[in-house]
Amino acid sequence: MNRGFFVAFEGPDGCGKSTISKMILEKFTLDGLKVIRSREPGGTDIGEKIRNIILDNENVAMDARTEALLYAASRAQHVHEKILPALKEGYLVLSDRYVLSSLIYQGLVRGLGFDEVSKINDFATSSLKADLSIILLPKKSTFKRKEKEGLDRLENEGEDFHNKVLEAYKSYAKTTKSVFIDASMSIDEVFKATYMEIKKAMENK
């Protein structure tokens, strides 16, 4: 059985990752592929419990190192319980966020260092890399404040934090396994561009 293909959807909050990944799931399912979609932090029962800790508004005293390690712990469970078994069964795996999110949020914006956060995540994931990272990049911050009671701990960081995240993504050097998509386009245009990039990458793997 051929190994599956792993796609991570990345980008700042509000850029449309979840919407696009859901559309991609539906399209490739119609194409006859075996596809699963998941998210980080979370994706497993244990991971979702860790997610709740990370996003809990009562945890305002959380140190950046604690945050990075919790993300890595959730990711470790996600990789070994869900992603790797699915890849072994030949699935196309779609994940809303993966290691790059930690490199941007904790490594760059929180100031822990790109290399340090990378080491933590290499251990957590047994060095599993996404076959393709789709980075949805708007021209300006798309973070929109919701009603106060609807904000989680990271959303409560506010506009300045999210602007820094956007700038960190913009400064991130392109790699051979990363594709930048202009998230300022219409949702249909973003979907079509994303679909074609994934299809091309799968054909060339």
CATH numbers and ranges of domains, the chain: 5-203 (3.40.50.300)
Helix/strand/coil for 95: strand
Q: Structure pTM?
A: 0.90
Helix/strand/coil for 52: helix
Q: Report CA torsion sign: 69, 133, 111, 153.
A: negative
pLDDT tens for the chain, residues 1 to 205: 589 999 999 998 878 899 999 999 999 999 999 999 999 999 999 999 999 999 888 888 999 999 999 999 999 999 999 999 999 999 999 999 999 999 999 999 999 999 999 999 999 999 999 999 999 988 766 555 444 456 666 666 677 888 889 888 888 755 556 899 999 999 999 999 999 999 999 999 8
What string of DSSP letters covers 13-31? Answer: TTSSHHHHHHHHHHHHHHT
